[in-house]
Chain A
Amino acid sequence: MTAAAVEELCVSDLAEAYRRRDLTPVAVTRAYLDRIQALDPRIDAYLTVTADQALAAARASEERYRTHSELGPLDGVPVALKDVLCTRGVRTTCASKILEHFVPPYDATVVERLTRAGALSLGKTNLDEFAMGSSTEHSGFKPTRNPWDLSRVPGGSSGGSAAAVAGGLAAAAFGTDTGGSIRQPAAFCGVVGLKPTYGRVSRYGLVAFASSLDQIGPLTRNVRDAALVLRVIAGHDRRDATSIDALVPDYAAALDDDIRGLRLGIPAEYFAAGTDPEIDRAVRAAIDVLRGLGATLHELSLPTTDYALAAYYLIAPAEASSNLARYDGVKYGLRVPGKDLVDMESRTRAAGFGAEVKRRVMLGTYALSAGYQEAYYGKAQKVRTLVRRDFETAFADVDLIVAPTTPNVAFTHGEKTDPLAMYLNDAFTIPANLAGIPAISVPCGFTAAGLPIGLQFIGRALDEARVLRAAHAYETAAPWRGRRPNLG
């Protein structure tokens, strides 16, 4: 085994190779840093590469393996972190000019847990500014390109993390999913992306976008890696009052159980006219594979699906407008001087925020302003209840819902200039966020043009184990396992 082909290895391969002394964490970290240096100028997945810290952590990990005191399956595994996760002493920008030079004084809980498990960070990945977007074109610094086709977007907002995993620039990566920001880029980049149950993973140290929806999760080469990683990052944290105090199961242990008798719901609304026919075909073929593995199929309806997007684009911007009020040029971040406090704040935010962030702050402020709050924000919260009830009704009869992750595959840079057209990309991912339930995207084929297609499994709250098991069963049976982009 050689470190020259690190991009071929998944997280569980690495741990195994380290234990057998076939590879060392330092050699693998160097190999990744070399790949980043050679390939990232074309992909632009990273905003910050922390080579020195990564190598220092790799040496410490190597010492642990040498003395047989390794910390578990993530020890010495090089990962990438979406640049909304606070990292002590390492610039955390949210891909925004307003935080261009912000250096957090503390680590996010997720970062702390990964460090404690021996994982090491290669750096911070690009995103749509403050995680608002579906293409990573709205980064305040640079767009990221899709490793499968550099003229296309990687999806978003966790586009840098998805591109890093797809391009072999990290063994695994972390993203956040507020309306699909892990699953949609995972689908676009042909990797696995898991959004856990709301509250399953602590949000402490995650820069807030929409607090009732935000959730951190992994982007990985395969489902087993997602299971391994989730176990490390999940669990209660007293520093996040919304984190759930529930046992964290050994997700990987039950991965290989068969799925005979598993009841899969197929929602009619996700196979409607707007879905790309190639996606429709690929997802139906995947569902046939699942039936072949012993799952039973149940057609059903999630009638509020068509309204979820509209509700989301009131709730998320409303929460964002409140969360982003903190960027006022006083305590951290950019400051543009003004003639008084309000003038200073208004100039600072005008210079620091990009067009999409301004649009959402405006939309959210409008939806919460006097006279409109009940008609917009209040109405959206009631629709959110209906979305949740749709799933409750469905899950009375089925164990999981299976559907496409996105209505379309990766589009070209600059293709979607109309904000609303961009928002419609999230139609199939948003409902799970509104309901707070777990969902995963797993590759299920390619279009004739060679672009990845994502299959989505949605489960009951805290039922990640079953979501992962079904996705793993499908992945194991799927013929494109191991297909990788050609980066020369």
Chain B
Amino acid sequence: MIERGDVEAVARLARLQLTEAETERLREQLSAILTYIDKLRALDTDGVEPTSHAVPLVNVMRDDAPEPCLPAEAMLANAPDRVDEFFRVPRIIED
């Protein structure tokens, strides 16, 4: 069972500001979903290798050669806030 404190801690990690009502609703819903998911415990997976990808993957290498890329202006066009060629964000480092 999930406690309110768990929901609040996870919301902080996920950068989600939740209302009181959302926190309570998520506590109930996540508890129900995790109770369902707990059926996995019944399955014996000792010695089973995990699958992270369905197809075998190997590292894809290429020459470290410069290639054309999108112009900075195109990448900045969707910026919510910018100064010159920079994304503007709230101050992170204290004076």
Contact = CB atoms under 8 A, between A and B. Distances in A.
Given A332-B79, A340-B90, A358-B26, A310 B55 contact: no
A221 to B, nearest CB: 29
A369 B33 CA distance: 17
A199 B60 CA distance: 14
Interface stretch (A161-169, A293-301, A377-385): A377-385
Interface in A31-80: none
Contacts of B2: 366
B81 to A, nearest CB: 7
B50 A338 contact: no
A331 interface: yes
Contacts of A376: 37
Interface of A: 101-103, 105-106, 197-199, 212-213, 238, 241-242, 244, 304, 306-307, 310-311, 313-314, 321, 325, 328-335, 337-347, 349-350, 353, 358-359, 361-363, 365-366, 369, 376, 378-386, 388, 418-420, 423, 434-437, 461
Given A347-B17, A378-B50, A386 B45 contact: yes
Contacts of A437: 54
Given A310-B36, A321-B14, A338-B90, A105 B43 contact: no
B55 A198 contact: yes
B48 A346 contact: no
A435 B55 CA distance: 8
Interface string B54-93: 1101001010000000100011011111000001011110
A358 B22 contact: yes
Contacts of A338: 90
Nearest to B47: A382
7 contacts: A307-B40, A331-B79, A346-B15, A362-B26, A381-B51, A385-B49, A386-B43
A354 to B, nearest CB: 12
Nearest to B92: A341
A350 B18 contact: yes
Q: Which of A198, A321, A329 has the most CB of B within 10 A?
A: A329
Given A242-B53, A334-B80, A386 B17 contact: no
B30 A362 contact: yes
B13 interface: yes
A420 B36 contact: yes
Contacts of B36: 310, 313, 420
Given A313-B37, A334-B80, A436-B53, 8 more contacts: A198-B54, A212-B52, A346-B15, A358-B22, A361-B16, A363-B30, A379-B45, A388-B51
Given A313-B37, A381-B50, A342 B57 contact: no
B15 A349 contact: yes
Contacts of B33: 313, 363, 419-420, 423
B22 to A, nearest CB: 7
B37 to A, nearest CB: 5
Contacts of A340: 90-92
A241 B60 contact: yes
B87 A362 contact: no
B65 to A, nearest CB: 13
A369 B37 contact: no
Nearest to A329: B80
Interface string B5-47: 0110111111111100010001001101110110111010100
B40 A380 contact: yes
B87 A331 contact: yes
B7 to A, nearest CB: 7
Nearest to A432: B54
Given A333-B80, A362-B7, A385 B48 contact: yes
B5 to A, nearest CB: 13
Nearest to A357: B16
Contacts of A384: 50-51
Contacts of B10: 362, 365-366, 369
B8 to A, nearest CB: 11
B78 A331 contact: yes
B94 to A, nearest CB: 10
A342 B55 contact: no
A212 B48 contact: no
B29 A379 contact: no
Q: Which 8 A-B pairs have the closest CB atoms?
A: A436-B54, A381-B50, A335-B80, A332-B78, A382-B45, A105-B74, A350-B17, A346-B17
Contacts of B49: 382, 385
Contact of B15 (A333, A335, A342): A342
Q: Which of B29, B51, B60 has the most CB of A within 10 A?
A: B51
Contact of B50 (A306, A330, A347, A382): A382
